[in-house]
């Protein structure tokens, strides 16, 4: 068996089997027809392209298991490696074009599915292919780097009904092609080259404004698929909603009062007038003739706001009016107490979700019910007299006191001194407008999931160019909508055959993922995860109490004073 080193193409080798009788048979490590007698370029491309695609799907970049990682692997296996950097990038470019074409077809199917489901839910009988249908979507942006100095941002819009990706946008502040050309060309040559170059890294805004720009671009082209993203589920972390609320048009009243500050006297007067009630009734019923985008809040992020407010309050004060410190064990605002309050707050919202609301009376009643149960969760955790402690508990509910059973105060309940302070926090987080946006019970869990898919393929702790980030976003959207087998269409598009083994492995991965997801949503498994997390935190707290403070930023960096006895200063008395 002989190797033809002259015909080596990257990792693909050309091997000839030579018999003593003089017969020579050609072999190759890449895919090739059985009647070939000499190596062909397509055979080398097959194996090398699989290597490039495989390293990308494993989720690491050029400095990881990418080109240099494969070179190290070949070194350990005593295999030659001769894929040049330009060839590697050519394979990536071919994969990127295939992802764009396949994903565009998949997104069109997803939009048609979401549109059809909205037509069926709204019972629209006269719908045609040209009618624009309104649907609820969740939107979130994610950056390529932690902090607010990232060069790339990815934004996804996901249908709240189908859970599939409808559109995405990648925004970049830098262009690697421009940087390379600028260093290799003269100033005049570079200016001439820029006239024909379509730069995809030309965003001039700040990194923190990228999410807002993603929303503007996605909402701006939404009607091309004959749908409108009329309800936007967001986390409230950016001005994304402020930039698109009137993109489909809005009534004059909305345009006028939306630009006023909440503390403006004109706005306050309008909120207390009959005109506001009429405006609100018309918009809830859908008879106002206004096409504005309505904002909905992710109930998971709203729940986190309470936790953040309680932790900030915990750090703000050392001692309360009873003379005791904020921290401590029983009766004080510990981490366990904060997590308990946060859990009660989120559960009260989820237990009172109501989507079929057509009038302001129904909405106000649902909001009041939700607010009452939230306050019941707060007062149930305070050491108060029974009548005061159970004033918000609903009858015939989980409350033992309402059932006629004894329900005494427990040692871990918060002392009465916390009532005044916590009520101020809860007043802000039980605002009627906020709870009304939580009534449908939507979350951004799908967006958080797809964001993790993107950065698994393109880790944040490493630098990546625009092409790599865009390829990761397209691949994540395709995988999110079609599962592990979605990549087979990409392989066929770039000329890679898909064997029965590959199809079987994709089905296995999808089956295991679905089985694990179904297991994790069961109540028993949720209780197990909570109990395990609480037990771990309890054990850690016990260790910290026994050891004391062993680590704090700069706490042990000061110079220790001398151990010797200090001399007392003596003063000489003056004689009279």
Whether 466 and 474 have beta carbons less than 8 Å apart is answered as: no
pLDDT number for residue 576: 46
State both tokens at 461: 């702790």
For 225-265, how does the pLDDT look when each residue is reduced to its tens digit (9 = 90+)? Answer: 899 999 999 988 888 999 999 999 999 899 888 888 888 88
Q: What is the pLDDT of residue 31?
A: 57
Q: What is the mean pLDDT of the chain?
A: 84
> Three-state SS for 169?
strand
Kindly tell me if the per-residue pLDDT of 271 is higher than 90.
Answer: no
Q: What is the pTM of this model?
A: 0.83
Q: In which band, very low, low, confident or very high, does the pLDDT at 563 lie, cut at 50, 70 and 90?
A: low
pLDDT digits (tens, 9 = 90+) for 328-386: 778 888 888 898 999 999 999 999 999 888 788 899 999 999 999 999 999 989 998 88
pLDDT at 62: 41
- Give residue-wise pLDDT tens across range 102-121: 999 999 999 999 999 999 98
Q: What are the structure tokens assigned to 131, written together?
A: 């009618």
Residue 28 has pLDDT above 70, yes or no: no
Element (H, E) at 423: helix 418-429
> What angle (nearest 5°) sits at the alpha carbon of residue 107, between those of residues 104 and 113?
145
Q: Using an 8 Å Cβ cutoff, are 337 and 381 in contact?
A: yes
Q: How confident is the model at residue 61 (pLDDT cuts 50, 70, 90)?
A: very low
Cβ atoms of residues 215 and 277 within 8 Å: no
Query: In this structure, are residues 81 and 62 in contact, taking their beta carbons and an 8 Å threshold?
Result: no
pLDDT at 317 > cutoff 80: no
Q: What average pLDDT score do residues 516-527 get? A: 87
How confident is residue 42, by pLDDT bands cut at 50, 70 and 90? very low
The residue written with tokens 């990706």 in the block is 165
Distance of alpha carbon 302 from alpha carbon 342, whole angstroms: 10
- Where do the DSSP E strands lie in 235-331? 294-297
**What pLDDT does residue 315 have?**
85
Is there a contact between 385 and 300 (Cβ–Cβ < 8 Å)? no
Give the pLDDT confidence score for residue 26 in this predicted structure: 62
How confident is the model over 65-114, as pLDDT tens digits? 667 777 887 888 887 777 888 888 888 888 999 999 999 999 999 999 99
Region of poorest pLDDT, from 132-141, 186-195, 247-256, 425-434: 186-195
Range with the largest mean pLDDT of 313-327, 378-392, 398-412: 378-392
Q: What average pLDDT does this structure show over 548-564?
A: 68
Region 135-144: what's the mean pLDDT? 94
């Amino acid at each position: 068996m002989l190797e033809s080193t002259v015909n080596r193409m990257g990792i693909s080798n050309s091997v000839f089997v030579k018999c003593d009788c003089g017969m020579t048979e050609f072999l190759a490590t890449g895919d090739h027809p059985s009647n070939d007698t000499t190596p062909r370029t397509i055979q080398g491309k097959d194996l090398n392209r699989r290597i490039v695609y495989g390293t990308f799907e494993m989720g690491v970049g050029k400095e990881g298991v990418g080109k240099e990682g494969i070179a190290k692997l070949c070194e350990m296996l005593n295999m030659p490696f001769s894929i040049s950097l330009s060839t590697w990038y050519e394979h990536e470019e071919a994969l990127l074009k295939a992802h764009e074409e396949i994903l565009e077809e998949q997104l069109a199917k997803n939009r048609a599915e979401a549109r059809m489901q909205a037509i069926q839910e709204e019972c629209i009988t006269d719908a045609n292919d040209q009618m624009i249908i309104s649907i609820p979507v969740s939107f979130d942006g994610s950056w390529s780097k932690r902090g607010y100095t990232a060069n790339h941002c990815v934004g996804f819009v996901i249908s709240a009904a189908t859970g599939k990706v409808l559109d995405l946008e990648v925004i970049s502040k830098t262009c690697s092609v421009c940087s390379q050309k600028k260093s290799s060309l003269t100033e005049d040559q570079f200016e001439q080259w820029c006239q024909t170059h379509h730069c995809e890294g030309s965003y001039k805004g700040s990194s923190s404004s990228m999410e807002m720009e993603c929303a503007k671009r996605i909402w701006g082209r939404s009607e091309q698929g004959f749908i409108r993203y009329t309800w936007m589920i967001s986390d409230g972390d950016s001005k994304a909603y402020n930039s698109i609320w009137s993109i489909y048009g809005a009534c004059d009243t909305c345009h006028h009062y939306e630009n006023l500050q909440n503390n403006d006297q004109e706005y306050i007067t309008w909120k207390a007038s009959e005109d506001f009630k009429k405006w609100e009734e018309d918009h809830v019923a859908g008879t106002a003739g206004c096409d504005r985008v309505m904002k909905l809040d992710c109930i998971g992020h709203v729940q986190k706001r309470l936790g953040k407010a309680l932790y900030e309050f915990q750090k703000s004060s050392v001692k309360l009016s009873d003379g005791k410190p904020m921290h401590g064990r029983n009766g004080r605002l510990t981490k366990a107490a904060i997590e308990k309050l946060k859990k009660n707050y989120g559960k009260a919202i989820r237990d009172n979700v109501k989507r079929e609301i057509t009038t302001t009376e129904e909405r106000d009643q649902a909001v009041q019910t939700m607010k009452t149960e939230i306050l019941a969760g707060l007062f149930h955790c305070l050491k108060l007299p029974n009548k005061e402690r159970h004033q918000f508990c609903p009858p015939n509910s989980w409350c033992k006191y309402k059932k006629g059973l004894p329900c005494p105060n427990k040692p871990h309940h918060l002392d009465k001194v916390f009532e005044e302070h916590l009520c101020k926090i809860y007043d802000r987080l039980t605002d009627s407008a906020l709870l009304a946006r939580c009534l449908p019970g939507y979350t951004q869990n799908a967006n958080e999931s797809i964001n993790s898919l993107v950065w698994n393929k393109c880790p944040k702790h490493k630098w990546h160019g625009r092409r790599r980030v865009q390829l990761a976003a397209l691949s994540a959207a395709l995988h999110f909508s079609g599962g592990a087998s979605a990549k087979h269409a990409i392989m066929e598009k770039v000329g890679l055959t898909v064997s029965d083994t590959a199809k079987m492995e994709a089905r296995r991965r999808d089956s295991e993922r679905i089985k694990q997801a179904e297991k994790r949503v069961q109540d028993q498994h949720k209780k197990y995860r909570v109990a395990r997390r609480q037990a771990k935190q309890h054990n850690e707290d016990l260790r910290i109490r026994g050891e004391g403070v062993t680590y704090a930023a700069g706490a042990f960096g000061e110079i220790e004073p001398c151990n010797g006895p200090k001399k007392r200063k003596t003063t000489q008395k003056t004689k009279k």
